[in-house]
A and B are shown apart, each in its own frame.
Chain A
Amino acid sequence: MNQHEIIDMMDKVPVEMLPELYQKLGWAGDYTQAPGKECKTIPVSINNTSGLRTYMQPDSVLDRSVIKAIEFIDDTTSALNPSIRNSSGDLLANPSASELAGVVFAFRDLDQEIAWVSAYTGILRLNGGKYLMTNLKGISWQDCYIYLTGAALALPVVTLRVWYDPDPADD
């Protein structure tokens, strides 16, 4: 179905049917349930200088999955990240919500950025408990990156959680 057909159809569809149509087109979905079949928490040790990007580690499962939501963990949600430690062996604290305002995440496929999100809007507790939902296919996870647009964080870690529907072959 091309753009003109979709726009023509939208004009004929009653307003009460639009939510169902948007679901079929993959533009909207139910926020009252878990956004994906599986999730994983990914602590990232970042290049902690303003203006720099930190690329994700390769993940072939996410490459083959449909990415359904991304969440960013601030220090109120979870004080410490789960695995990245300082030289003394202590787990590093997660950034505050105000620090995450200086973080933007870019989803990429093999060619280009296909979506951008603000890390702050991925903090569940500050956004009505609603996940930052996506419907992203063909992602190249190792080409996705955290972009530190604001000031350096107090500690060089960002923790994110990704919800996804895995490829049935990986299930």
Chain B
Amino acid sequence: MNNLWIKNSQLVEFQFRGSVDANRRYPATDVPNLSRNNIMLYGFEVYAATQVSTAPSGNTVIADADVDKIFLTLRDINKKEFVYQYPLYNLIRSNVGGFVTLIKPRRINLTDCNVIVSDTTGIGANEVVLLNMFYDKI
């Protein structure tokens, strides 16, 4: 029975810039390492403040109490939303028995990926959703 192996990974932030509004899309912060190279995404997981309290960038990571209000959408280079409004709670490995989400590999367009919030209560401006993207270079 399998679980994900990390071959390469990159931390990606989705920042709630300015005011936090319900149903507004907050895109991923561009990461040149992912944009420039030929990479294939094959898995990902989310960190809330219990897993990573502060991102390496210095930004505050969202509280665990807020993960049930946030949904992730990923788009590939063909503009296809192959992961659409996935609840963040299920992407935190300690919530799901230690399993990490594996997907059919995709080349993604990072800044087309986004999160939305259904309820803004408690989410602070400039906090981030922190995603660890697992990829391979081919």
The A contact surface, by secondary structure, is mixed
B residues less than 8 Å from A26 (CB atoms)? 5, 7, 136
A101→B132 contact, CB < 8 A: no
B53→A28 contact, CB < 8 A: no
A residues less than 8 Å from B94 (CB atoms)? 120-121, 126-128
A-contacting residues of B (Cβ < 8 Å)?
1-11, 33, 38, 40, 42-43, 45, 47, 49-56, 58, 93-94, 96-99, 102, 104-107, 132, 134, 136, 138
Interchain Cβ contacts within 8 Å, total number: 136
B9→A116 contact, CB < 8 A: yes
Q: Closest residue to B43 on the A side, CB-wise? A: A27
Which of A7, A98, A129 touches B105 (beta carbons < 8 Å)? A7
The complex places the Cα of A134 from the Cα of B43 at a distance, in Å, of 13
A117 beta carbon closer than 8 Å to chain B: yes
A22→B102 contact, CB < 8 A: yes
A115 beta carbon closer than 8 Å to chain B: yes
* Count of A interface residues, CB-CB < 8 Å: 48
User: Contacts A27-B7, A133-B3 hold; do A116 and B132 have CB atoms under 8 A apart?
Assistant: yes
B residues less than 8 Å from A149 (CB atoms)? 52-56, 58
CB of B53 to closest CB in A, whole Å: 4
User: Contacts A117-B6, A118-B47 hold; do A27 and B136 have CB atoms under 8 A apart?
Assistant: yes
A residues less than 8 Å from B55 (CB atoms)? 149
User: Contacts A104-B52, A127-B93 hold; do A28 and B98 have CB atoms under 8 A apart?
Assistant: no
B residues less than 8 Å from A18 (CB atoms)? 104
CB of B75 to closest CB in A, whole Å: 15
User: Contacts A22-B2, A23-B2, A121-B94 hold; do A3 and B10 have CB atoms under 8 A apart?
Assistant: no
A residues less than 8 Å from B104 (CB atoms)? 7, 10-11, 18
Listed by A's residue number, 20 A-B pairs whose Cβ atoms lie within 8 Å are A3-B107, A7-B105, A27-B134, A28-B5, A29-B5, A30-B1, A30-B2, A31-B3, A102-B52, A104-B52, A127-B94, A127-B97, A128-B97, A130-B3, A130-B93, A130-B98, A134-B6, A135-B5, A135-B7, A136-B7
A169 beta carbon closer than 8 Å to chain B: no
A114→B3 contact, CB < 8 A: no
The complex places the Cα of A24 from the Cα of B97 at a distance, in Å, of 24
A residues less than 8 Å from B47 (CB atoms)? 118, 120-121
The complex places the Cα of A39 from the Cα of B44 at a distance, in Å, of 26
The complex places the Cα of A27 from the Cα of B135 at a distance, in Å, of 9
A17 beta carbon closer than 8 Å to chain B: no
The complex places the Cα of A128 from the Cα of B33 at a distance, in Å, of 32
Q: Closest residue to A128 on the B side, CB-wise? A: B98
A88 beta carbon closer than 8 Å to chain B: no
A150 beta carbon closer than 8 Å to chain B: yes
